Structure 1
Amino acid sequence: MSENAMPLPYEVQEMSTTEARKHLPDLVNMAAYGHVTTVLTRDGRRLARIVPEEDAWVYSPAWQEKLREAEADLAAGRVRRFDSDDEFLGHLQAIDDEAGG
């Protein structure tokens, strides 16, 4: 999975589970109101995350599958470059129109 899976801006911090136990109310508030994700670690190994609710969709199976597909496309060179923002936006509009949007 890409390390940049979450949309910016966001803040990610790491904290041991021992330390997190001492600060759980603060960590929850930081996630809920400060848009901060905390990665919980034990012996330097990442175990879990406290994630703002608005970012939870990033971890859904459907989104993770789409991310894997996109990363495979990039790795295989299946990309399209656009000469301008307008060309790119026109392409997105055409895709939306085809999908009935």
Structure 2
Amino acid sequence: MIMKTPINFDSIIHIRYEDGSIEDSFSFPGIQGLKKCTFNKMNGYDSNNNRVTNLVGYDGRELIKRCPCCMCDKHVTEFGYNGRITNRKRDQSQCTKCRGSY
């Protein structure tokens, strides 16, 4: 699923930027904009109100997610483009490699 920023998180995150600065925010990008950063694994909603899960950072090009199966941090494009439909559209939580191992 292609995620559209801004991402609004379920609770406050501590964004740690590459330069060592830290920002507390309920959304990404924060005040410093689209800069390389990491944050604790968090869930929320993108600007299209789609559910997004397991986000852990931004590498300057793409958002980064953590696969709960292999515990690897990967680009969001490695989780497949088709979101699941529950009560609303949401992303795939497992990477395509782990989903393919079923």
TM-score between both structures, scaled by the size of structure 1? 0.27
Please state which structure has a larger fraction of its residues in helix.
1
Please state which structure has a larger fraction of its residues in strand.
2
TM-score between both structures, scaled by the size of structure 2? 0.27
Larger radius of gyration: 1
